[in-house]
Amino acid sequence: MPDQADAAPSTPPVAALSGITVLELGQLIAGPYCGYMLAGFGADVIKVEPPRQGDAIRGWRKLHEGTSLWWRVIGSNKRSITADLRQPEGRALVRDLAATVDVVIENFRPGRMESWDLGYETLSADNPGLVMVRVSGYGQDGPYRDRPGFANVAEAFGGLRYVTGEADRAPLRTGVSIGDTLAGMHGAYGTLAALRERDQNGGRGQVVDVALYESVLSVMESLIPEYDLLGHVRERTGSSLPGIVPSGTYACADGLHVVIGANSDALFVALMNLIDRPDLGSAVALANNAGRSAHGAAIDTAIGAWTQKHSSADALRMLAEADVPSGPIQSAADIAADPHVAARGMLTRTALPDGTEVALPAHVPRLSRTPGTTRWAGPELGAHNREVYGERLGLDDAALAALKARGTI
């Protein structure tokens, strides 16, 4: 056996989705988030953007040197090309590209791609193995298919907004476009399922139909069967979680809040002992979740009385020592400074096109052999025109210059 020092260096594993090529159409969040997830694990995602202005998300929220930092996240690992889909010549370029890829992602309103002669029937005629991911507010069929649907509308329609907020106040939204992100995740999952089916069963692709509202509805736990069988309509309950007690947010002496979840029987006893309420921990009526749920307000009051005597740091330390699940409510600054986040490598430093380094969230979930990576931040508009059009369609510099002069790219 050779010495370890003499052993040949190991070859880095091939990325999990290496060899998969994706053409991403559409703008903003849901479709591009699907592409972001696939690109993070090695798929070659070619992002098609309108010439001159690019994807609208390039101008959303906080900017650095004129470009949104959000774009640098959601555009990471993608190659950016331009094509004006309003021009027949631009649509022809996209159709030719679609014939060379495994997946097309689009998030236009249903019927728009067909009006451009870029629908699934057209594209799959040239590329029978194509998987087409279609993201829209309400899906590709049904009476609401033609309605515009953004994440805020989908979150309301799918039931999330109704149960979010305080009981006596108007429904609230989360601080991010969660409906879009959920749709993007479902799109990525559907992509992988469709690709596996294609490769296992004869090479024919199919459509992955992702509706924003359905992506929201799918994570609403037992909301529907509770209504269907019991007539129960879940209502807004603020930071508590009726039916699962204790599980809530509690104020501390320093004005900060902590989250505590002690909803198993053993954890409840441990928590009650910690807060000097062994009488509650040993009460027969509170021995199981059903009993605790009937007395949730009293239990929350007892926990809140204890947390208000301690700083958030002290409360969390004691809760951890008692092995009771708990945690702080962290801001961006807190996350950036958290040692566990750092130890897990959840923030990865990446150079922007101007050389400035910035922290971006790492790609999840973590794969043990072929983890996702951030190879580059969201690129400049059209940065890969020459590369992609040259390698896939054989266009030379003169052809590209002519397309650019006509405003096609």
User: Which amino acids are annotated catalytic?
Assistant: 180
Cα→Cα distances 113→122, 221, 373, Å = 10, 34, 32
In whole angstroms, give the CA distance from residue 235 to residue 396.
Answer: 61
Bridge-based pairing state of the strands 257-261 and 247-251: antiparallel
Distance CA 220, CA 75 (A): 29
CB contact at 8 A, 210 and 181:
no
By the 8 A CB rule, do 98 and 130 touch? yes
283 Cβ contact list (under 8 Å, min separation 6): none
> Angle at Cα 38 formed by Cα 35 and Cα 42, nearest 5°?
130
- Check: CB of residue 23 under 8 Å from CB of residue 105: yes
Per-residue burial over 286-305, b = 16 or more CB atoms within 10 Å of its CB, e = otherwise: beebeebbebbeebbebbbe
Provide the 3-class DSSP secondary structure of residue 237: coil
Three-state secondary structure call for residue 245? coil
